[in-house]
């Protein structure tokens, strides 16, 4: 798994997003009828530090805003948050979970 933290300023506050992705998926494109998961064009968004499942769980618990892609990454996020795996949408057979607090 790869993890990357993104920060941006919005209305005077720093918003942080954790991008967590199975390393083997980075650089690939997946498609469904109504959606595309482009991990090739957006490789830089996901391609961060290599992490273990334990570290991934720690990061998921630390950050409120999450963009999670792949079986291993989604499983770790769901385990950390107590969510069923069915909460993840599948795009081209790849689980994708987004959680944002606005």
Q: What angle do CA 8, 10, 14 make, to 5 degrees?
A: 50
Question: How many structural domains does the chain have?
Answer: 1
Terminal-to-terminal C-alpha distance of the chain:
26
CA distance 47 to 70: 13
Domain housing 20 = 2-99
| pLDDT value for 101 | 83
The CATH number for 29's domain is 3.30.1860.10
37 near 30, Cβ under 8 Å?
yes
Find the length of the chain: 102
The pLDDT tens digits of the residues spanning 53-86 come to 999 999 999 999 999 999 999 999 999 999 999 9
Its pTM stands at 0.92
């Amino acid at each position: 798994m790869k993890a990357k933290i993104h920060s941006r300023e919005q209305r005077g506050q720093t918003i942080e997003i954790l991008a967590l992705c199975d390393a083997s998926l980075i650089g690939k494109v997946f498609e469904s009828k109504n959606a595309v998961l482009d991990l090739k064009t957006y490789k830089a968004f996901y391609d961060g530090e290599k992490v273990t499942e334990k570290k991934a769980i720690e990061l998921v618990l630390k950050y409120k805003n999450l963009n999670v892609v792949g079986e291993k990454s989604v499983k770790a996020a769901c385990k950390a948050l107590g969510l069923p795996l069915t909460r993840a949408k599948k795009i081209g057979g790849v689980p994708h979970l987004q959680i944002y607090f606005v």
